[in-house]
Structure 1
Amino acid sequence: MTDSLRLGVAGLGTVGGGLVRLLAAHADRLALRTGRRIEITAVSARDPAKDRGLGNALGGARWYADAVEMAADENVDLVVELIGGETVAKAAVEAALSRGKPVVTANKALLAHHGVALAAMAEKAGVALNFEAAVAGGIPVVKALREGLAGNRIEAVYGILNGTSNYILTSMAESGASFEDALAEAQKLGYAEADPSFDVDGVDAAHKLALLASLAFGAKIDFDAVHIEGIRRVSALDIAFARELGFRIKLVGTARSTGEGLDVRVHPVMIAEGSPLSHVDGVFNGVVVHGDFVDRMMFEGRGAGAGPTASAVMADIVDIALGVRLPLFGVPVEALSPARVMPVTARQGACYLRLSVVDRPGVIADIAAILRDEQVSIESLLQRGRAPGEGVPVVIVTHEVQEAAMARAMARIGALASVLEAPTMIRIEQIKRA
């Protein structure tokens, strides 16, 4: 057996603790697989006296308050960054790469904003920068795109990439709860943070989608160009209507290659019951990939948590132990093409539109006239209840329409005196089968 691989682990939270436990449980198995003993020789965390339930698993590992200082330790061969955020994490990763040390990170925000620059540093140093755990937890989708599907031209990637939002939408669908009540339940169970904004506003999913899009299309993705919407405006009423129409509502990240550029966006969508991703519930993640030779591939599993994410971190460590080194995004940085990300207004697709209108003659005719003027064709219309002079919900499903036209129509409809609140629009996404 060759020399050991000495790890410096920055961050001993949920994932860091999971990695320590995994290594303690499977050190012998990992040594057989890699021909090297993998051991933690240094850690960086705020409070070394805190009881993390790790027992003696860290052995004689040196403790550092400063992750950058830990990265410079000459007895550390590989730095594992599990801090999160951008400032300290970026400094630690740069410190490791500048010293010719490979890095494994689970930090999607860091890579979504600084991935190209860090990839260039890693290439210059001739070391690996791996990030399997940054996207979809324990699902090996990064390895699948970068290696397993390398012989394909990727046409589209669709993903449920945030377990918190998926849990909330699943809870609303199963119990009829409001968004607020489902969020409170998710927080009580530990699935949502006290400040859930990154999750429920779609930012976390967008970070992950930007990385998948870079991998899938060999492109530099400007994160600021990614269209992002969260799930705060999805109501129990929308979920009930979706079920009646044969749909499920999910927060989905979409990355497609089109003749006009890349279509990269995160927002709630309606997908048909029985279609890919419709059955991915609770805290699970799911990713669908379309390639020109494999047709459709489906990946599903736990997208977060100590065990699944630590498993993905260890997969990256094992690659490095075996001497595997691939470019961060599958191709060298100089080969990444600047991506033209299409504005969401260029989207062509069907839409669900829910209105609250005064129940009186002529209202539907006024709405239909606006849709006609904007070249929006109606596939179906539902009105439930009868309340003369009061508000009733009206649901319209459109045929495929350009989103710019839909936006104009919504603005005009929302200005009608008979429309009592801002219209709700949810896009209907056709995730094709193989």
Structure 2
Amino acid sequence: MIDRAHPGYDEARAVWNGLIDRRPAVVARCSGTADVVEAVAAARDHRPVVSIRGGGHQVAGSAVCDDGLVIDLSGMKGVHVDPTTRTARAQAGVTWGDLDRETQVHGLITPGGEISATGIAGLTLGGGFGFVMRTFGLSCDSVRSLEIVTADGRVRTVDREQEPDLFWASRGGGRGLGVVTSFEFGLHALGPEVAGVLVLHPYEHAEQVLRAWRDATYAAPRTVTPELLLWSVPADPAIPPELHRVNCVMVGAVYGGPPGDGATAALAPQRQLGPPLLDLSGSLPYVMLQGANTWRFPDGERYFMKSHFMEELTDEAIRTLLDWDSRRPTPESLIVVRTLGGAVADVDPDDSAFAHRSARFNVSIDAGWQDPAMDEAAIAWARSAWEAMKPFSSGGTYVNFAGLAEDAGELRGAVFGSHEERLERTRAAYDPEGLFAPAARMP
């Protein structure tokens, strides 16, 4: 246990997002499931506000709470891969970088996030976007079973046959159901090398590129997961210094199969959208792909993100995006358009709590900055851009990109859609006294 008098207190309460400055009463650093059971028992006895920390990378900072108990799973790092059954069992403190390192020994993956420092737990419980989701689905779609400590202190193994409602809710329902201590994932063959596109286009061609990109995504095979960023060129050593911080349109795509002629042909439409500023396309190790963005979003800087799901990216929506992109408050801020469909849409809409299977796009408005004096301006930009994009939205919001705790109440319907009622019934069945409810209100 770490309390406010402990010399490691500030380190224990820090999370990835430097905007979050919460001061819990106690941090319970768990090394295994038995420690989690004890922490939940203490929470039942004393009824503090409870939050659960896995990787601590969620933008809303829901891993920590003020004046309550943090059940910290970040030390639970066990991973076991069975290449014969193509499964992996991973504890809840594992990051995607940890998991990829173990599965890639066998040329296998489970679809994970776009930053290797992200924890597997929070991302998977919220659904789980990734670079190959159109080929292999969301992270939650690969979950075979999970172990969870519920509010009554029981350790439950849940899957489609055992506790099916809890299994349903844990795949896309976010937090507040209990403390997930481990996941069993199904694995897919991919790697060690993957083929991808990364093309930077001049900003003066932004509208033309966006329209061409949109049209190309409609025809993209499920083996290709396209993505587009409106950003400033990062200070990457692979990029000429004279381009650093120059505004651009970045087009990325990953092929969910072996590199070769098939990958080249499938990716070609994403690579041919106009005269490039810089073309960095090619093959690279899967673990390098997964880690490529980590340094671009360093620990301790300040972040605020809000998102919309969209059925279409109309010309008017494109112009609105570009209008708000032109007002970005810092070079670190960006707008990301991700594509769904393919394997994501193959899953029955009611198979899991993730409520946005039919969406074609997710638009994420990501403010990033370093100076605390910029807090108000950066957050205001992201909120205003999000409001401006509302007319083009399907009404849905991704739980992992849903703003801060104060945004949670107004967004619950948008996050969980038609699944909200069933999700609340499941929460009430497993946590009738609301032991985990405060954490659930910080999506």
Q: What TM-score comes out, normalization by structure 2 length? A: 0.26
Larger Rg: 1
